Structure 1
């Protein structure tokens, strides 16, 4: 199992003139330290018009800075919001980032689950699935074909030589956020890796993995490269003191849950329910329920932390147990959001340290033992 970091650049209020800048500079310091502690990757989301939750509208620029402060860890965008970009633009920027990082880039693609981020760019909700799918077909062709041209429903590209080309061949690995069966099915058929959130718990994650693996058997990637890997994204807090976990860890997860409700109240503003496309109905109904919460019977932050299946909050041993439960179902990588809203820089650094000293070495030792056992078995055959 590989370990990475995940960043939203969350900036809780009250703000001062340096609040945003401070969080970005802290993230750069945290990532440099994470590389020293053995982490394998760092991923940045892309969100727009999401105050407090995510001040991270230009993740490729932030990762360009990361590329100059690190030498080993992979750099991922999770995810490029395809319906508000053009594939030519994304291809050039990601190829440049791949060069700057000496071939360490991963590119996730998504369409966003709500209209609030789309309408300022002139994108219609009913077009997003088609745009995302066509984008995913065109992007690898731009990277791999010397002269590319395309005539599609959403993108028309006359014959052009698009430069620069990425260092990785045939192209950087492509991923997709997989939150619905339809998206997971299409992502797998396009040869994209699966990015899965932990909030739904092991049953939901297991269903996504099973569907993704099954549908990739018939994958037809445009660039000739199938990414058959997966990764789990989760929020987390690790500390040696159980009282800190019960107190501060629960407080941070409570903030995270509250912000999910605030998101739900924001992102459908001004939308007539009758105009919501069929493939967005599930997102709309989920968010309307979430926006009206919390409801009687909903799990509290303390109960969610105590359950230990949706978020990674605990001692190093508890975090190991959390990840082993997902490893058993086939999860290969995990991306940890440790810079949760109110978390102070020193708290984030402590979580990174706990993972670097205890959690990551545990899985590395396990892998080495399994490899040695395989070598011994082969020698005895």
Structure 2
């Protein structure tokens, strides 16, 4: 069975934080009721006209509402904005509070202003992320840690807090680039594919992850893949509705420097053509066929869908989730779980 999950969205800051939290709880309940067993949330700081509830406290609270079979994922946290000791203990606590259901998704970030706000050089984000990921594993798995790195120094410290999951929560290292996929291969447990990635780009990035895993003696298994999805009674209707709910967010991405979302001029001139290579739009049957092709061609598990955009009310989001739950989610869950690749036997075995 291929697991299906959902990505929660940011919302306009005109919505009160209390209302946003109430809406999130209703949306998560609808997602679980409709067969989604992963709940994922992203992260930004001082985001202006849009707001994220911060993932660590939010997921800690949602754990009380979620089924024991539902996993809670940070997708993604901006790792280089943290001190690794603080991040290790925050996440270990979150894994305890969620009773071992945490998935830690990390990325390097793409907004220079967020680094400026926190006094961290933007140009150091990749190197900081590498060191943080290395140090997190030490702090989660070793009884005594000595670390002499470029950014942090620890001498004989004894971690007092470790995660429930052994050896630690899954680490998904997210990125848009091949360099990011190589980071996942070196330091992570999985590479969550971005919604905008084409099939050729998925092939290229999975090859980089596979190479890194092989160098560590780690089998290449099923990978999380994200897709933006909208189901309607016809493809034309789905396209019109997707433009209505999603175009504003794509333009916001372009303005904030996320190049993979498309340029603002292209999005304005021809939104459907610009997003057509990655957005999965159409009838139930068309969406099922597209997602089945994706999950058959690549070792996908879980498949994370985005049914929510900032322009949508909670009621609209819940309606979109229920539409997905009728046919799309059951069809994907009926697909066989991909199996990890078998590593060649060591030389001389």
Alignment of 1:231 with 2:227, yes or no, is no
Question: Does the alignment pair 1:346 with 2:346?
Answer: no
1:294 paired residue among 256, 261, 265: 265
Match of 1:314 among 249, 274, 282: 282
CA distance in 2, matches of 1:174, 1:227: 14
2:65 to 56, 63, 69: 69
> Which residue is 1:21 aligned to?
18
Give the SS at the match of 1:367. coil
Rounded to whole Å, the distance in 2 between the matches of 1:184 and 1:299 is 32
- Partners of 1:302 and 1:29 in 2: how far apart? 30
1:229 Cα deviation (Å)? 3.8
Task: List structure 1 runs of 4+ shifted beyond 4 angstroms.
Answer: 225-228, 241-244
The 1:123–1:226 alpha-carbon spacing in structure 2 relative to 1, beyond 3 Å, is: farther
Which stretch of structure 1 is more off in the superposition, 179-188 or 204-213? Answer: 204-213
Question: For 2:62 and 2:287, how far apart are their aligned partners in 1?
Answer: 26
The answer to whether the 8 A contact 2:5-2:40 is kept is: yes
Q: C-alpha root-mean-square deviation of aligned residues, in Å?
A: 2.6
Aligned residues: 335
* 1:256 maps onto 2:249 in alignment: yes
Aligned partners of 2:99, 2:219: CA distance in 1, in Å?
Answer: 22
For residues 244-292 of structure 1, what are the alpha-carbon distances to aligned partners after superposition, in whole Å with 9 as ceiling and x for unaligned? 424322212322322222223xxxxxxxxxxxxxxxxxx7xx49x93xx
Paired residue secondary structure (1:194): coil
Matches within 5 A, 1:82-161: 82-161=79-158
- Structure 2 gaps, min length 5: 340-349
Q: Name the residue aligned to 2:10.
A: 9
The change in CA–CA distance for 1:246 and 1:10 in structure 2 (over 3 A counts) is same
- What secondary structure sits across from 1:195 in the alignment? coil
Q: Aligned pair in 2 of structure 1 residues 321, 19: CA closer, same or farther (>3 Å)? A: farther
> Offset at 1:210?
2.3
The alignment's TM-score, normalised by the length of structure 2, stands at 0.87
* Equivalent residue, structure 1, for 2:49: 52
Distance, in Å, in 2 between the alignment partners of 1:186 and 1:69 is 34
C-alpha deviation, 1:163, in angstroms:
2.9
Whether the 8 Å CA contact 2:173–2:188 is kept in 1: the answer is no
Separation of aligned partners in 2, 1:203 and 1:24: 38
Q: What TM-score, normalized to structure 1? A: 0.80
For structure 1, the 5+ residue unaligned runs are: 265-282, 372-381
CA contact (8 A) 1:239 1:351 kept: no
Larger Rg, first or second structure (1 or 2): 1
Matched, 1:178 2:148: no
User: Deviation per CA, 1:206-227, whole angstroms, max 9, x where unpaired?
Assistant: 221222123321137xxxx878
